C-alpha cells in the first residue's frame, strides 16, 4: 500500500499504532514480533505472491549468517552475497541483459518478462551490508526476529532509506515509550508524515503534470519545443526531489511513531556547490553504501589517481544501473562518474572556483543529466536536449509557477527534519498540521495520485 493512500492513512497506520500501544502496555516482549508481522502485512498488501520471496530471503540469509558464526568460512558470506545479487539480477536485469546479448548478430534470446518485486533492491542491499560487516567482524549475531525486522521494517522496506544495522538494531532493545521525549517524538513523527505528504501530493504530483506529457511526447517521436523542454527538465528536477524526499520524510515520521529513528536521506541537495557535495546531500544513505561497499573495495583513493578515477567511474556506472535496467540509467551514472572524476582532477590541480559559479555549474550538470534519468530512450532524451538548445519547433509558453514554488522551497530550506525539531509545541501549530492533513486527504481523492518514483527501483 502507498503511504499516500486512504487504506494506509486511515486504516493500516491507525490499526498498527493501536496494536503497538496495546502490546507496549500489556506485553512489551511482543513488540518486535508485532512490528515484523505488521511489516509482512504491509508488504503483502501489494502482492501476496512476493511474500515468500521476502520471507525466504530473510530466513536463508540469517541461516547463512548462523553457519558463518560457527564455521568462520568466508566463502559462505561470499556465496550468500552472490546469491542475493543473482536473485536481484534475475528479477530486475534478466530482460535487460537479454536485450544486450540480442544485439550480437545471429542471437535471438527470449526476453524474460518477470514482475519486479517491490523493494527488492533495497532489502538486497540491507542483506549485503550486514553480511559484509559480519564477515569483517563488525556485526554481531541477531536472532531471526530482529534480523527480519532489520530487513523488512515497513517504513523503509520499499524505498529506503538504506539503513545500516548499526543505526537501528540497538534501538530495537530500547523502550522508547519510557523515555521523557516520547510525546515529542510522536508529535514530530506526525509532523514529518504530514510534511512528506504535502511535498509528495501538493508539489511532486503537481509537477508530474508539467513533466509527463513532454517526456511521453518525446518517447513517441514528437519534437520538443524549447519552452516545453525546459519546463519538463526543471519540472522533473524538482519533482523527483519532492517525490523522494517526501517519501523519506514520511518514512522517518512513521518510524518515529513506533519509536525508531531512521537516518536522514537528503540535506538540501540543490544547494550543492560541487558534484561531490551534491552526492553528500542527495540520497545520502545510497551514497554511503556505494562509497563503503563498492568504491572503497574497488581501491578508493588508496592506490593512486588512475585507480581512484576508475573506481569512481565503476561505482557511479553501477549506481546508475541499480536505478534501472536501461542504458539511459547506465549513461546517467557514467555521466556522474565523469563529473566526479573531473572534480577530482580540478581539486588535484589546486584550482579554485567561486561558490556561486560552482553552484551554477553543479545545478546545470544535475538538471541536464536528469534528462537521461527520466527519458525512456536515448532518442527521447535527444529530442528533449534538442529542445533545450532551441533546436525544436515553436511551442506553448513555459509553465513556471509550480516550478518557481518548488525551487524556492528546495533551495531555501530547511529540511523537514530540521524544521520539526525547531518548532516549539503550540496549539495553533497542531491545528495547522491537522488542517493540512485534512486538505491532503481531499487531494488524494483525485486522479493525479501517483506512486512514488523510487518504487520502480
Interatomic CA distance for residues 366 and 372, integer angstroms: 10
Residue 312: pLDDT above 80?
Answer: yes
Torsion angle of C-alpha atoms 377, 382, 383, 387, degrees rounded to 10: 140
The answer to whether residues 194 and 294 touch, using CB atoms and an 8 Å cutoff, is no
Residue 332: give the domain boundaries: 183-448
Q: Quickly list DSSP for 15-58.
A: HHHHHHHHHHHH-GGGHHHHHHHHHHHHHHHH-GGGHHHHHHHH
Number of domains in the chain: 2
Structural domain includes residue 350: yes
Residue 397: pLDDT above 60?
Answer: yes
Interatomic CA distance for residues 361 and 350, integer angstroms: 18
Residue 388: pLDDT above 90?
Answer: yes
Residue ending a domain, choose from 173, 205, 221: 173
User: Over the stretch 407-416, which tens digit does the pLDDT of each residue have?
Assistant: 999 998 789 9
Residue 302 — φ and ψ, nearest 5°?
-95, -10
Q: What pLDDT is recorded for position 449?
A: 60
Same domain, 138 and 199: no
How many CB atoms are closer than 10 A to CB 280? Answer: 15
Same domain, 267 and 157: no
Q: What pLDDT is recorded for position 355?
A: 94
Same domain, 196 and 153: no
User: Over the stretch 335-380, which tens digit does the pLDDT of each residue have?
Assistant: 999 999 999 999 999 999 999 999 999 999 999 999 999 999 999 9
Cβ contacts of 303 within 8 Å, gap of 6 or more: none
CA-to-CA separations, 192 to 3, 105, 249, 250, 268, in angstroms, rounded: 12, 54, 5, 6, 16
Same domain, 136 and 217: no
Cβ contacts of 11 within 8 Å, gap of 6 or more: none
What percentage of residues in the chain have a pLDDT greater than 90?
A: 72
CA 31 to centroid of chain Cα atoms: 27
Structural domain includes residue 455: no
Interatomic CA distance for residues 71 and 76, integer angstroms: 9
Same domain, 159 and 269: no
The upper half-sphere exposure of residue 4, i.e. CA atoms within 13 Å in the direction of its Cβ, equals 32
Residue 153 — φ and ψ, nearest 5°?
-50, 120
| Mean pLDDT lowest among 64-78, 238-252, 345-359, 437-451 | 437-451
Interatomic CA distance for residues 400 and 284, integer angstroms: 29
Residue ending a domain, choose from 137, 154, 173: 173
> Considering only CA atoms, which of 84, 74, 161, 172 is closest in space to residue 127?
84
Cβ contacts of 337 within 8 Å, gap of 6 or more: 312, 313, 314, 315, 316, 317
* Cell numbers for 400: 513556471
Structural domain includes residue 292: yes
What one-character DSSP code corresponds to residue 103? T
Structural domain includes residue 226: yes
pLDDT confidence band for 174 (50 / 70 / 90): confident
Same domain, 76 and 217: no
Residue 446: pLDDT above 70?
Answer: no
119: left (phi over 0), alpha (psi -120 to 50) or beta: left
Q: Where are the beta strands (DSSP E) in 233-328?
A: none
Residue ending a domain, choose from 124, 151, 173: 173
Same domain, 272 and 148: no
Interatomic CA distance for residues 155 and 160, integer angstroms: 8
Structural domain includes residue 454: no
User: Which of 401 and 113 is assigned the larger pLDDT?
Assistant: 401
Structural domain includes residue 178: no
Same domain, 409 and 428: yes
Same domain, 93 and 140: yes
For the stretch 303-339, what's the b/e string if a residue is b when 16 or more beta carbons lie within 10 angstroms of its beta carbon? eeeeebbbbbbbbbbbbbbbbbbbbbbbbbbbbbbbb
Structural domain includes residue 69: yes
Interatomic CA distance for residues 235 and 247, integer angstroms: 18
Interatomic CA distance for residues 285 and 314, integer angstroms: 18
Catalytic machinery residues: 323
Q: What pLDDT is recorded for position 348?
A: 92
Same domain, 160 and 229: no
Structural domain includes residue 362: yes
Interatomic CA distance for residues 216 and 110, integer angstroms: 27
Interatomic CA distance for residues 450 and 29, integer angstroms: 38
> Considering only CA atoms, which of 340, 286, 282, 283 is closest in space to residue 313?
340
334: left (phi over 0), alpha (psi -120 to 50) or beta: alpha
Same domain, 354 and 398: yes
Q: Quickly list DSSP for 210-253.
A: HHHHHHHHHHTT----HHHHHHHHHHHHHHHHHHHHHHHHHHHH
Same domain, 189 and 225: yes
Interatomic CA distance for residues 141 and 164, integer angstroms: 14
Amino acid at each position: 500500500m502507498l503511504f499516500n493512500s486512504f487504506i494506509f492513512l486511515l486504516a493500516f497506520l491507525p490499526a498498527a499504532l493501536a496494536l503497538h500501544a496495546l502490546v507496549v502496555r500489556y506485553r512489551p516482549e511482543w513488540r518486535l514480533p508485532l512490528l515484523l508481522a505488521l511489516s509482512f502485512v504491509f508488504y503483502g498488501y501489494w502482492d501476496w505472491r512476493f511474500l515468500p520471496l521476502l520471507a525466504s530471503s530473510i530466513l536463508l540469509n540469517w541461516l547463512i549468517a548462523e553457519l558463518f558464526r560457527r564455521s568462520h568460512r568466508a566463502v559462505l558470506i561470499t556465496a550468500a552475497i552472490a546469491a542475493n545479487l543473482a536473485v536481484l539480477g534475475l528479477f530486475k536485469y534478466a530482460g535487460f541483459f537479454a536485450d544486450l546479448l540480442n544485439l550480437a548478430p545471429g542471437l535471438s534470446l527470449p526476453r524474460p518478462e518477470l514482475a519486479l518485486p517491490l523493494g527488492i533492491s533495497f532489502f538486497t542491499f540491507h542483506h549485503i551490508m550486514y553480511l559484509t560487516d559480519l564477515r569483517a567482524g563488525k556485526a554481531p549475531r541477531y536472532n531471526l526476529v530482529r534480523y527480519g525486522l532489520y530487513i523488512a521494517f515497513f517504513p523503509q522496506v520499499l524505498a529506503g532509506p538504506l539503513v545500516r544495522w548499526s543505526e537501528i538494531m540497538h534501538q530495537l532493545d530500547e523502550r522508547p515509550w519510557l523515555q521523557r521525549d516520547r510525546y515529542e517524538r510522536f508529535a514530530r513523527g506526525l509532523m514529518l508524515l504530514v510534511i512528506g505528504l504535502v511535498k509528495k501530493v501538493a508539489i511532486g504530483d503537481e509537477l508530474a503534470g508539467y513533466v509527463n506529457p513532454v517526456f511521453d511526447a518525446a518517447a513517441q517521436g514528437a519534437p520538443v519545443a524549447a519552452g516545453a523542454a525546459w519546463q519538463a527538465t526543471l519540472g522533473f528536477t524538482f519533482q523527483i526531489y519532492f517525490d523522494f524526499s517526501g517519501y523519506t520524510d514520511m518514512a522517518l515520521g512513521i518510524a518515529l511513531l513506533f519509536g525508531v529513528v531512521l537516518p536522514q536521506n537528503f540535506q538540501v541537495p540543490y544547494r550543492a556547490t560541487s558534484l561531490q557535495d551534491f552526492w553528500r546531500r542527495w540520497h545520502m544513505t545510497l551514497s554511503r553504501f556505494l562509497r563503503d561497499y563498492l568504491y572503497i573495495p574497488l581501491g578508493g583513493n588508496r592506490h593512486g589517481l588512475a585507480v581512484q578515477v576508475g573506481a569512481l567511474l565503476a561505482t557511479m556506472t553501477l549506481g546508475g544501473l541499480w536505478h534501472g535496467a536501461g542504458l539511459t540509467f547506465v549513461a546517467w551514472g557514467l555521466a556522474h562518474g565523469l563529473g566526479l572524476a573531473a572534480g577530482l582532477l580540478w581539486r588535484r590541480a589546486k584550482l579554485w572556483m567561486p561558490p556561486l559559479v560552482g553552484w551554477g555549474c553543479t545545478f546545470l550538470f544535475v538538471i541536464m543529466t536528469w534528462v537521461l534519468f527520466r527519458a525512456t530512450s536515448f532518442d527521447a532524451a535527444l529530442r528533449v536536449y534538442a529542445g533545450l538548445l532551441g533546436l525544436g519547433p515553436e511551442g506553448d509558453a513555459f509553465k513556471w509557477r509550480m516550478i518557481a514554488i518548488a525551487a524556492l522551497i528546495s533551495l531555501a530550506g530547511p529540511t523537514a527534519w530540521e524544521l520539526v525539531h525547531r518548532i516549539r509545541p503550540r496549539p495553533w501549530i497542531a491545528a495547522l498540521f491537522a488542517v493540512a492533513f485534512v486538505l491532503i486527504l481531499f487531494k488524494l481523492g483525485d486522479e493525479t495520485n501517483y506512486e512514488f518514483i523510487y518504487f520502480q527501483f
